[in-house]
Amino acid sequence: DLAEDKRALLDFLSRIHKSRDLNWRNDTSVCSNWTGITCNQENSRVIALRLPAIGINGQIPFNTLSRLSALQILSLRSNGFTGPFPSDLFNITTLTGLHLQFNTFSGDLPSHFSTWKNLTILDLSYNEFNGEVPTSISNLTHLAALNLSNNSLTGEIPDLALPSLQFLNLSNNHLNGTIPTSLLKFPNSSFSGNDFMPILPVMPPPLPPNIPSSPSASPFLATKSGRKLTESEILGIAVGGFAIIFLALAILMVMLWSGKRRGGAVSGKLSKGDRSPEKAVSGNQDENNRLVFFEGCNFAFDLEDLLRASAEVLGKGTFGTAYKAVLEDAAMVVVKRLKEVGVGKKEFEQQMEVVGRIKHENVLELRAYYYSKDEKLMVYDYYSQGSVSSLLHGQRGEDRTPLDWDTRLKIAIGTARGIACIHTENSGKFVHGNIKSSNVFLNPQSFGCVSDLGLSSLSTNPIIPRVSRTAGYRAPEVVDVRRSTQASDVYSFGVLVLELLTGKSPIQITGGGDEVVHLVRWVQSVVREEWTAEVFDVELMRYPNIEEELVEMLQIGMACVVRMPEQRPKMAEVVRMIEDVKRFDTGNRPSTEGRSPELSGLMPQPAQRSAGTSSPIQ
């Protein structure tokens, strides 16, 4: 229980040598007051202990931490721990993450890695372990990240058949022999700096998607087998080379984030014990330049980890560039690097606090932010499915998740609820300012989830090119005065609804680039001509008995995009209207028989459509 956890921690504290104080006192609450401790929701057990860079020397005292029988995460990284691998930690069968990197542990790794059935991250890098990589690591069937780099390990790598492994680093040891087939999927950088058979000095990142991922396409394998490369392989390597340069540039940019803030802020290469414990544990950064996490965020990373992470550019948006960062523990986050923030630190922080406070299932949670003179970053969860924009307009190949009608309805209702929630914030004055399909993601139940809130009021009013997708969502009055309002959010939402119904982008260029077609105007004109059925996405034609829902959603979408802002419905009203449509979705959809004459015959049959579609937007 918690009392035993407390005793174990106090025992640990009394038996370690440390250069700085910890605020662990017998008369204070472990869960509320003690630095580096995380308890479970009921505050009845200690589930995480994180003491990075706290200046502890010597061995981990035996039979102390191993008594924390509910512990899931143990991070003692960047200290001065010495001695052999603390084998009594095997008693903690609940452990999911063990971070002992940047210490001076030495000796062999134990040969009985089997009790940690739930372990997902094991980081023992930058120590002085020697001996062989134990085969028993294969017993850690949930292991997603294994880092044994920068030790003195010797011998051959065993064939670690780890089904969940996504990140592997064995670089800079003295390993030799060949790389087992089960590990060949990892980039060569995972194995560099060892005594393997000669390999190419430049290690390729994962192959770009346009290169076939057959083993022969890997330069590493080609060299090993010694056979000549085919023309397409050479081409593949050339393209891969560009990809490497591109990736290296991306990583360089991420590194630059740290470089820029030298002097007062954190550098990616702090030596051991450089930081005070409070700073190290509470976000690990200088108080004025730290990554600020919001409550409920379970991420175990800091700015340093973020800067070390490999980054991939997801895209450049209106307010900056979005990167996907893969942290050492294989967790993926999205980091938005903002450009041209037009407000000072205080205002920025206030805005972030408002955004970070919003907890709603249809609003993408801001996990953390960072502010310094040169850099402003925002951190979100990574949504692997991509945005609604990519789901709707992305490649229509095998990998594409088809957006069926129910999902589109769920996207619409989720997004509407998310925006309605946002509009209640800040005494009912909060405005999103940038509702569009690339800012909507699917939550685990496939409902729409709104991202990027709070950005439009921070930026220095970026000028949106007239012919850009973003411009297609802007309400007419915003184009004139360049100021968003809740009514203009409603307009943008209306465009999103029309996009979901038609499957078309809000702006299209036709006629060899001369003609710009606005989705809103096109839908309005088609409906005026009483060709209503023509507007709907052909992909929706396969779903039976959805005509009424389509038409009702079309009416809602059109009500949102009326020209006069004051005539648009409020977002809460829009939610109610869509919820009325959603009632059709209980499995008792009315059949086409018995519908009103206005609606009967409105929908042409699929064959009719394909013959007669006259849409100016293709």
DSSP element (H, E) containing 325:
strand 320-326
Q: How far is the CB of 36 from ligand ATP (least distance, A)?
A: 29
Token output for 34: 């003690």
When CB distances to ligand ATP are compared, the closest residue is: 317
Beta strand residue intervals within 220-307, DSSP E: 292-293
Q: How far is the CB of 338 from ligand ATP (least distance, A)?
A: 9
DSSP element (H, E) containing 50:
strand 46-50
Q: How far is the CB of 100 from ligand ATP (least distance, A)?
A: 31
Q: Could you tell me if 376 and 338 are in contact, meaning their C-beta atoms sit under 8 angstroms apart?
A: yes
Strands 310-316, 292-293: pairing is unpaired
Sequence ranges of the binding site = 336
Tell me the C-alpha distance between 255 and 258, whole Å.
5
Q: Could you tell me if 208 and 239 are in contact, meaning their C-beta atoms sit under 8 angstroms apart?
A: yes
Q: Measured from the CB atom, is 410 or 474 closer to ligand ATP?
A: 474
Sequence ranges of the binding site for ATP = 336
| Contacts (Cβ under 8 Å, ≥6 apart) of 54 | 18, 20, 22, 36, 79, 277, 280, 281
Backbone angles phi, psi at 279, to 5 degrees: -65, -40
Binding site for ligand ATP (CB under 6 A): 314-315, 317-319, 322, 334, 336, 380-383, 386-387, 434, 438-439, 451-452, 470
Q: Measured from the CB atom, is 84 or 386 closer to ligand ATP?
A: 386
Between helices 405-428 and 571-582, what is the axis angle to 10°? 150
CB atoms within 10 A of CB 611: 9
CA distances (Å), 459 to each of 342, 344, 347, 348, in order?
A: 5, 11, 12, 10
Q: How far is the CB of 556 from ligand ATP (least distance, A)?
A: 24
Q: Measured from the CB atom, is 470 or 492 closer to ligand ATP?
A: 470
Task: Identify the CA nearest to 413 among candidates 439, 378, 372, 448.
Answer: 448
Q: How far is the CB of 266 from ligand ATP (least distance, A)?
A: 24
CB atoms within 10 A of CB 591: 8
Q: Measured from the CB atom, is 284 or 387 closer to ligand ATP?
A: 387
Q: Could you tell me if 53 and 280 are in contact, meaning their C-beta atoms sit under 8 angstroms apart?
A: yes
Token output for 316: 């450049």
Separation of first and last alpha carbons in the chain: 65
Q: How far is the CB of 375 from ligand ATP (least distance, A)?
A: 15
Q: Measured from the CB atom, is 190 or 438 closer to ligand ATP?
A: 438
Q: Measured from the CB atom, is 74 or 431 closer to ligand ATP?
A: 431
Q: Measured from the CB atom, is 172 or 439 closer to ligand ATP?
A: 439
Q: How far is the CB of 385 from ligand ATP (least distance, A)?
A: 8
Q: Measured from the CB atom, is 39 or 455 closer to ligand ATP?
A: 455
Q: How far is the CB of 444 from ligand ATP (least distance, A)?
A: 14
